[in-house]
């Protein structure tokens, strides 16, 4: 169980004034282990005077923190960089914005989420296809196979298929699995939750290769049949960014 109040205090202690912070990674995907890191992702707003200057500061903040003995990885992008990722069909950004695990910034997310929903296009397929290829290459190298890597491959496939079919961002593997004949996933999740680095034991890897291949074909088919728009509302995103920067300067 995540302690959102103490996580918010931890973020506050860094002194960088985030616009929002949500939880990503295994906790968002629905299969954290007792030893899983806590992945915090979000956005902040650099001062306008610094952004327009000759030497703008770094657009990304990355820190490794300790939270009661558990490692916390905090990654935050300046809003300009964050929105540029959004309009490049970045699935990670969409999942972070839509994460139900909100540490702070709920009011800002209430403004950002409707805009992010307009940025979901059929081209988000390329993000999930690329992420899948990375997981499959990792699985090809692993001996023995790790439960975590297998679950990440299933998760990225089901999220991509669901998103292309419905326009809804859902990252929780077990909720996604309810729409597919994949009852065995609950057992894999239970095995993963027994330990972050546990090897996959007692299952037929050939079987999982076949299932992943079938879902890969479904991902490709969902892309071809998707009714999601082709174009992004770049002008609306630009106006949102300008409004936020000017409003912050006025404040």
Q: Where are the domains of the chain?
A: 4-119+232-250, 123-225
pLDDT tens per residue across span 56-105:
889 999 999 999 899 999 999 999 999 999 999 999 999 999 999 999 99
Evaluate whether 216 touches 132 at the Cβ level (below 8 Å).
Answer: yes
pLDDT tens per residue across span 166-208:
999 999 999 999 989 999 999 999 988 876 555 666 668 899 9
Q: Where does the pLDDT of residue 146 fall: very low under 50, low under 70, confident under 90, or very high at 90 and above?
A: confident
- Topology of domain 4-119+232-250 in CATH is Beta Polymerase; domain 2 (3.30.460)
β-pair type (70-78, 38-44): parallel
Cross-strand pairs, 74: 40, 63
Six-digit token pair at 172? Answer: 């929780």
What pLDDT does residue 51 have?
Answer: 87
What pLDDT does residue 97 have?
Answer: 98
pLDDT, mean of residues 210-236: 97
Evaluate whether 240 touches 83 at the Cβ level (below 8 Å).
Answer: yes
Between CA 8 and CA 98 the distance in angstroms is 18
Six-digit token pair at 96? Answer: 């972070």
Report, in angstroms and rounded to the nearest whole number, the Rg of the chain calculated over CA atoms.
19
Evaluate whether 49 touches 28 at the Cβ level (below 8 Å).
Answer: no
- For the chain, what percent of residues have pLDDT higher than 90? 80
Q: Which residues contact 10 (CB under 8 A, 6 or more apart)?
A: 65, 67, 72
């Amino acid at each position: 169980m995540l302690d959102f109040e103490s996580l918010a205090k931890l973020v506050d202690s860094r002194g960088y004034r985030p616009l929002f912070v949500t939880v990503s990674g295994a906790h968002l995907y629905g299969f954290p282990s007792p030893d899983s890191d806590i992945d915090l992702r979000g956005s902040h707003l650099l001062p306008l005077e610094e952004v327009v200057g000759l030497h703008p500061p770094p657009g990304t903040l990355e820190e490794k923190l300790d939270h009661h003995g558990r490692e916390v990885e905090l990654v935050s992008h300046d809003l300009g960089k964050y929105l540029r990722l959004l309009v490049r069909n970045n699935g990670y950004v969409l999942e972070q914005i839509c994460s139900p695990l909100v540490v702070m910034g709920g009011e800002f997310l209430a403004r950002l989420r409707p805009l992010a929903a307009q940025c979901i296009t059929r081209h988000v397929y390329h993000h999930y296809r690329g992420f899948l290829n990375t997981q499959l290459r990792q699985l090809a190298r692993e001996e023995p196979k790790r439960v975590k890597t297998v679950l990440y491959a299933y998760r990225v496939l089901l999220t991509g298929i669901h998103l292309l079919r419905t326009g809804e961002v859902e990252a929780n593997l077990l909720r996604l699995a309810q729409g597919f004949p994949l009852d065995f996933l609950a057992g894999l999740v239970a095995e993963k939750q027994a330990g972050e680095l546990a090897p996959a034991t007692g299952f037929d890897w050939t079987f999982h290769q076949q299932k992943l291949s079938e879902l890969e074909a479904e991902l490709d088919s969902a892309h071809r049949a998707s009714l999601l728009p082709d174009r992004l509302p770049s002008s609306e995103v630009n106006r949102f960014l300008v409004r936020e920067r000017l409003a912050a300067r006025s404040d």
